[in-house]
Structure 1
């Protein structure tokens, strides 16, 4: 299978390396590649060049550039290709990208990354939605990926589910981070750790994972919560708690730098 990966950051580079390791033809483009790539991953000079000869296209960029990338490749995508929009953005942006690519008849898939990438790489759980999602799952069977299907779905349905889930997961992480900071400030860290532990099944290690994960991935998660806020506001929901989660991540980002 010929696979193009647009965006070779933490997630994209790991996907590229894992797929190359499995023996697939992989190439990609990133304007500023900083992660080490497998020897068999070809680094090309533009997004259109990377896309033009691929069967499968994985777009793993920042949400802020996803529209621009769709516009760049719209003239070179083809009907037989699958284009997976994997950026963490709201459903409206995913729909807009599908509309940009519609004239080329490329098969657009809303493919949400449903867990942190580093532990499992290309075997990270994904959620697929859109008109072509069922046939896409058949197409990628040789890759043995962990993909769930949103039945009878349209573009944006996977993104919506990912962001709704993020309200819970990132919100809990924000509460734990603030509680631990407060416990330390009052000299009662063991007490507050016990209170948190009683709510999460006594899993003390999970507390540290929530705190460290929030610090390590603060920038990416802050952008994710901004996408949640936009989605909720578009739906008429006041994102009071989600704004607090976003602000907590911004504070963590500032303190880390």
Structure 2
């Protein structure tokens, strides 16, 4: 038992010089903050309207600017609609010693626009895509990373055991892959939600479950996860599909199915 305690203490001591600011403490941000605090990382946070229970060691600041000022790594975990505003707010304290992680579900063009906005500070920039629901894995959720700071970020947090795949130094590559994946997952979820609604309406839920199950590999439980996940995370996923639509339209693609998936999520709200 003593040996185990010493191992935990030593592990936490390795992270004493790592300070991370987490801007946005909603579902994802609060999970990341609490998990990192449990690992012994000094966490500074800001959220204009915090609602989640946070680890007692997390130091809350009065603004994004004040939270970012002391940090070596900055997680921007907000809605895409405010991501540019957050970057502008913290601009005065960015420099070459810091790493800025743009983690919002934005289109690649918006990720690039934010990089262009702050690159004169010489901050290391990471387009970081969250590739699975944050609960239950929290900070161990798989990430895709691209940008000129991606490799440095991976090296800085190597002791924490995060699941980070570095793609390249090209801003937008991680977000592009995430949104391409979203076309599939959110599109399938929209079809399943609509089919289940129709099955219940016709009093044929068992029948429609069989039809869906035959397509998705006989996993009946997965049907419920698609339906419940769409309801629980409707707002965030709606914004995600808006980013998909923007990305596809910028490439001259008419995103008929992605628009419908977005409309399904809006209906679920």
Do these two structures clear the TM 0.5 threshold for a shared fold by scoring above it?
A: yes
Quickly name the TM-score band, shorter chain normalised: over 0.9
Which runs of 5 or more structure 2 residues have no equivalent in the other structure?
A: 1-17
Residue of structure 2 in register with 1:61 after alignment: 78
Residue of structure 1 in register with 2:229 after alignment: 213
2:193 maps to which of 147, 170, 177: 177
Q: For the residues of structure 1 that align with 2:155 and 2:111, how far apart are their CA atoms?
A: 22
CA RMSD of aligned residues (A): 0.8
TM-score (norm 1): 0.96
Residue of structure 2 in register with 1:80 after alignment: 97
Matches within 5 A, 1:140-155: 140-150=157-167, 152-155=168-171
The CA deviation at 1:136 is 2.2
Secondary structure, counterpart of 1:74 in structure 2: helix
- On the 8 A contact 2:97/2:123 being kept in 1, the answer is yes
Residue of structure 2 in register with 1:233 after alignment: 249
Residue of structure 2 in register with 1:40 after alignment: 57
Q: Deviations over 1:164-188 (max 9, x none)?
A: 1000000000000000111111111
Matches within 5 A, 1:1-257: 1-150=18-167, 152-253=168-269
Secondary structure, counterpart of 1:28 in structure 2: strand
Which runs of 5 or more structure 1 residues have no equivalent in the other structure?
A: none
Q: For the residues of structure 2 that align with 1:92 and 1:201, how far apart are their CA atoms?
A: 36
The CA deviation at 1:131 is 2.3
TM-score (norm 2): 0.92
Q: For the residues of structure 1 that align with 2:200 and 2:98, how far apart are their CA atoms?
A: 53
Q: For the residues of structure 2 that align with 1:246 and 1:153, how far apart are their CA atoms?
A: 30
